[in-house]
Amino acid sequence: MHSKHESFYFNNALIMIAVISLVLLLEYFLTPFIPLTSLRTIIIILLALAVHFFLSTSLLEHYKEQEKNLKNLVDETLHELNTPISTIEANLKMLQNAHSDEKTLKRLARISQASKNLSHLYESIEHSIKNEIDTLEKETFELHSLVRDSIGKVVDIQGDIMIENSIPTIMISANKNGFERSIDNLLSNAIKYNKKKGFVKFYLQDKKLFIQDSGHGIDSKNLFIIFDKSYQENPTTLGFGIGLSIVKSYCDKEKIDIKIDTKKSIGTTIMMDLKNLIND
């Protein structure tokens, strides 16, 4: 996708060079025939603008057609990927209803969880692809419920960490998948870098969402690079260090101001300013 953008800028630069060259040639050939400088300048500018408009329009139409074809391909591919996931889930429910054996139900529960993980991965892939081609759609959703669902995903890994969701009922207008993905990443980090019997708290204040934890905190020297790809406060922790980079990218697109307040050995508080997203 980035190579297409680079190609567009390169071709546009070629158009500008061609127009400048045309201006210089017209100046050279028209001087003997049109001695009046002002008239000659007007003619040259009009011709140059006409040529630039024609070439730029042709180039833009070409890229619009490419973007349209890519979007159609993405939509069709994502639809085809979603079909087998839906089939698995539908048949799984039938099997669960048809069996009462505890051992079988446990196996089906593991398959169900794997199916949910696969579905979540599909949603993440869909978001990443659509994010690249700028086709993310906004929708209205309830913040407390979204955070509650994210908390439900980490039941198996939270251990003795207490998670508190005191966000009131409030509606948000944004790309839901991207917002959910951001909360998932922030919650996962808050658990991963927390202390034993620690806590994670979600609360809202002055249209700002706060995620506070009792973790180990972040070294102040790393605050300038914390949103860089592959950054990890603790390199020995499992993961690729791209979670915060994904969060920052989403926040930039949605015009969400995100800040981090951290104290070593005390904890970290993430603030997301939702004033542009909250439905009053």
Same domain, 127 and 29: yes
User: Domain for residue 15, yes or no?
Assistant: yes
Domain boundary among 93, 113, 135: 135
Same domain, 33 and 128: yes
User: Domain for residue 278, yes or no?
Assistant: no
Q: What is the pLDDT of residues 52-73, one digit of tens each?
A: 677 777 666 766 776 666 666 6
Same domain, 91 and 10: yes
In whole angstroms, give the CA distance from residue 86 to residue 91: 9
User: Domain for residue 45, yes or no?
Assistant: yes
Same domain, 147 and 198: yes
Q: What is the pLDDT of residues 196-232, one digit of tens each?
A: 999 999 999 999 999 999 998 887 766 666 766 544 5
- Cβ burial of 199 (10 Å; 0-12, 13-18, 19+) is middle
Looking at residue 241, its pLDDT comes to: 40
Looking at residue 240, its pLDDT comes to: 34
User: Domain for residue 254, yes or no?
Assistant: yes
User: Domain for residue 89, yes or no?
Assistant: yes
> Could you tell me the pLDDT band of residue 75, with boundaries at 50, 70 and 90?
low
Same domain, 120 and 158: no
Looking at residue 15, its pLDDT comes to: 67
User: What CATH number is associated with residue 248?
Assistant: 3.30.565.10
Domain boundary among 135, 170, 199: 135
Same domain, 155 and 231: yes
Looking at residue 137, its pLDDT comes to: 75
Candidates 165, 167, 270; CA nearest to 215 is 270
Residue 215, SS3? Answer: coil
Residue 267: domain span: 139-273
In whole angstroms, give the CA distance from residue 258 to residue 279: 19
In whole angstroms, give the CA distance from residue 163 to residue 203: 11
The first and second tokens of residue 195, run together, are: 């202390």
Residue 236 reports pLDDT greater than 50: no
Same domain, 44 and 98: yes
User: Domain for residue 156, yes or no?
Assistant: yes
Q: What is the pLDDT of residues 260-277, one digit of tens each?
A: 998 888 999 999 999 999
Same domain, 226 and 268: yes
Neighbour tally for 45: CB within 10 Å: 12
CA distances from 33 to 28, 46, 169, 174 (A): 10, 17, 76, 61
Neighbour tally for 58: CB within 10 Å: 10
Same domain, 21 and 67: yes
In whole angstroms, give the CA distance from residue 114 to residue 119: 9
The first and second tokens of residue 13, run together, are: 């630069």
Same domain, 219 and 99: no
Give one DSSP letter per residue of 53-81, joined into a string. HHHHHHHHHHHHHHHHHHHHHHHHHHHHH
Same domain, 170 and 102: no
User: Domain for residue 157, yes or no?
Assistant: yes
Same domain, 160 and 250: yes
User: Domain for residue 198, yes or no?
Assistant: yes
Structural domains counted in the chain: 2
Domain boundary among 109, 135, 161: 135
